[in-house]
A and B are shown apart, each in its own frame.
Chain A
């Protein structure tokens, strides 16, 4: 994935300006920045939810400008959401199964969905790997917060994406749940490229191969965690004010 001179304006508000970056396969890249720095906008552009006002977005060499959002996942880009975004009244299994089904059948009104064993098997396996097998039949809205976060990731992962975008995967989690999530992300990173937005500095510095710092919609710094920690400008705008933060 590479972005070149990406910009986004909402009316008169410039949310992103001239952001250029390349994301290497197999790396964990973290995007950080103070509130309002443009992280969410950047993320929404990378996942196709927003189209950039300027600049180009390429994935595996292909220009993504004309690609509708629902095709992103079919090209290998899946995302999770900051605010838990699941199908509340469907069972936990069905949440993941319907995501898996998108790769088998989308508009078939005549087949029996239970004949699609493949999607169901993939969904069951995915639930097992995030530790939700025991809750498979429960409506998703009854899960605890941490479990809903895990389900959120499972829905994105069942697409087996080459690029996984995680929007604050540990939002609202306690230390124990956060540790589990970090372990899960490290496990996932073995097979795919991961891009994440996070606030928890210690976690990011320990986990990422590379950190991008956004500030007022512009790319302030881009480097390894050690370089970012040493960057005086970054310390001034971001790290300093968050000393001791989680």
Chain B
């Protein structure tokens, strides 16, 4: 009897401690993310990889706001990433504008583009929404290809290297890889804090309600279309911000950053890490880029391996890496 009793008693505290752990992780999600980002360049094989994780992690986080939380599958988010990058590059290269203002311009341009694309796409649902966003993003791609005097066409945009970040009172050497990493990290950390606040806000509750049941959300008194549009714009702005960082980082904007391959990459990273969770997209970006880094040393066909792993995830762990961890933790 006493043995059985003990056996029954053991899981209860364990369950409580797992639940507490996850609620604490959730409460401290912003400081924890920043901590993780601080040590990232020291644990990854290269600093170049770490910076890519930062930038694509931010893209995936921005995308997740729309896909994971609002439930809208966009295949056109490369447009915002690319638009942010091009706008910043052109502002610095062609007009010699201060890098900080150039970044603001990048964010603004991607936000405007998101507003236009959002207004057009939000009327449609399901697969039609995905197709409209894909088509509109390809429109942006071909526009950039044609306007080669501004964008450099197929060769991409070049000639806007930022080597020093001038700030009031001091300047930062943007050529030192580690300094560059932490400079970019500060922007990403601020964006993560912003996203965390948005998710905690009343608006964050509404987008989740819309993802869960659009009809009911409307009957509850929410303007579903306006809410979706705002979510679309916020998501586009975050991807645009990542684009401006990418432009500053590699001092070139490849035309490919607007291509639907990039949109697909964003969807894959988000799914891999776990859509609809705070940490998921970042973990997805980290996993994807690390796989690319490792497998591409062995074979030039690394995408084949990543593709197989992705399919396995979709089939067996549809909640992604972090999503699976959460549900595993809750069921313990």
Residues of A within 8 A of B (CB): 47, 49, 68-74, 78-79, 81, 85-90, 94, 97-99, 101-114, 116, 155-156, 159
Q: Does B226 contact A (CB under 8 A)?
A: yes
Pairwise interchain contact B220-A108, C-beta atoms closer than 8 A: no
Shortest Cβ distance from A71 into B: residue: B221
Q: Does B123 contact A (CB under 8 A)?
A: no
Q: A87-B213, A87-B216, A90-B209 are in contact. Are A111 and B221 (CB under 8 A)?
A: no
Q: Does B147 contact A (CB under 8 A)?
A: no
Pairwise interchain contact A107-B227, C-beta atoms closer than 8 A: yes
Pairwise interchain contact B212-A88, C-beta atoms closer than 8 A: yes
Pairwise interchain contact A109-B201, C-beta atoms closer than 8 A: yes
Query: Can you report 11 A-B residue pairs in the complex whose CB atoms are below 8 A from each other?
Result: A70-B223, A81-B216, A85-B216, A87-B212, A89-B212, A90-B208, A101-B206, A106-B203, A106-B206, A107-B230, A111-B202
Chain A residues lying within 8 Å of B204, measured Cβ to Cβ, are: 109, 113
Pairwise interchain contact B221-A85, C-beta atoms closer than 8 A: no
| Least Cβ–Cβ distance between B143 and chain A, in angstroms | 30
Q: Does B121 contact A (CB under 8 A)?
A: no
Q: A85-B215, A112-B200, A159-B221 are in contact. Are A98 and B226 (CB under 8 A)?
A: no
Count B interface residues, CB 8 Å: 27
Pairwise interchain contact B219-A78, C-beta atoms closer than 8 A: yes
Complex Cα–Cα for A16 and B221 (A):
26
Complex Cα–Cα for A208 and B67 (A):
45
Pairwise interchain contact A104-B216, C-beta atoms closer than 8 A: no
| Least Cβ–Cβ distance between B26 and chain A, in angstroms | 12
Chain B 219-245: CB-based contact to A (< 8 A → 1; otherwise 0): 111111011001000100000000000
Pairwise interchain contact A108-B203, C-beta atoms closer than 8 A: yes
Shortest Cβ distance from B212 into A: residue: A87
Shortest Cβ distance from A105 into B: residue: B202
Pairwise interchain contact B222-A70, C-beta atoms closer than 8 A: yes
Pairwise interchain contact B213-A109, C-beta atoms closer than 8 A: no
Chain A residues lying within 8 Å of B222, measured Cβ to Cβ, are: 70, 102, 106
| Least Cβ–Cβ distance between B34 and chain A, in angstroms | 19
Chain A residues lying within 8 Å of B205, measured Cβ to Cβ, are: 94, 97-98, 101, 113
Q: Does B218 contact A (CB under 8 A)?
A: yes
Q: Does B183 contact A (CB under 8 A)?
A: no
Pairwise interchain contact A104-B220, C-beta atoms closer than 8 A: no
Complex Cα–Cα for A168 and B265 (A):
46
Q: A107-B226, A108-B203, A110-B197 are in contact. Are A85 and B213 (CB under 8 A)?
A: yes
